[in-house]
Amino acid sequence: MQRGIQTRSLALSLAIFATTAGAAHLTQDPLTHLQLPAFTDKSILGNAPVEMPSAKICKSQYRGEYYSLSDSTLESVVAWYVGSLKGFRHIQSADHSTHMFADAQRSIIVIVMGKAGGNANSVAYEKYEPGLSEKALLGFVNKAVDCT
């Protein structure tokens, strides 16, 4: 009986190792080539992004992906991005639950979402070609997109 348990335990350990050995532990987002914070890499299964479907948004071609965040406050994640995304504009929603960072062309956008004063849930890395208008960008963060 004891030998059977040990054999199953060894087989389970090998299966977990085989599954996680190929897990991606990215330090850079493959779409935007921006640095990824350690907040995205809390799982033994890696931190490969979830790809979002491509779409046409406000006359721009959109591509995006997102990462789940765990054990991180919204405040600490936003502080990391403020320090790391030099030259990016920081815009936040009125309720402080959504923080958007955009490059000067408004073509690369990072959106951090969570609960104000609480945990961060996810971060999206997005690319728009051509870049979004100023009006559309402000609409995104305020959840009232205006493509005019």
Q: 59-108: per-residue pLDDT in tens?
A: 999 999 999 887 889 999 999 999 999 999 999 999 999 999 999 999 99
- 41-45, 47-51, 106-110: the lowest-pLDDT one: 41-45
Does residue 71 lie within any of the structural domains? Answer: yes
Mean pLDDT of 44-56: 83
Cis upstream peptide for 49 (omega within 30°): no
Assigned token pair, 104: 């000067």
At residue 130, the pLDDT reads 96
pLDDT at 15 over 50: no
21 pLDDT higher than 80: no
User: What confidence tens digit (pLDDT) does each residue in 110-143 have?
Assistant: 999 999 999 999 999 999 999 999 899 988 888 8
Neighbours of 112 (CB within 10 A): 25
Give whichever of 40-49, 50-59, 139-148 has the largest mean pLDDT: 50-59
pLDDT (0 to 100) of residue 71:
83
The answer as to whether 11 is a domain residue is no
Q: What is the pTM of this model?
A: 0.80
Number of domains the chain is built from? 1
Q: Does any domain span residue 6?
A: no
- The residue segments making up the domain with residue 60 are 24-141
C-alpha–C-alpha distance, residues 115 and 51, integer Å: 23
Amino acid identity of 119?
Answer: N
Q: State yes or no: pLDDT of 10 exceeds 70.
A: no
Within a domain: 10: no
In a domain, 3, yes or no: no
36 within domain boundaries: yes
Element (H, E) at 111: strand 108-114
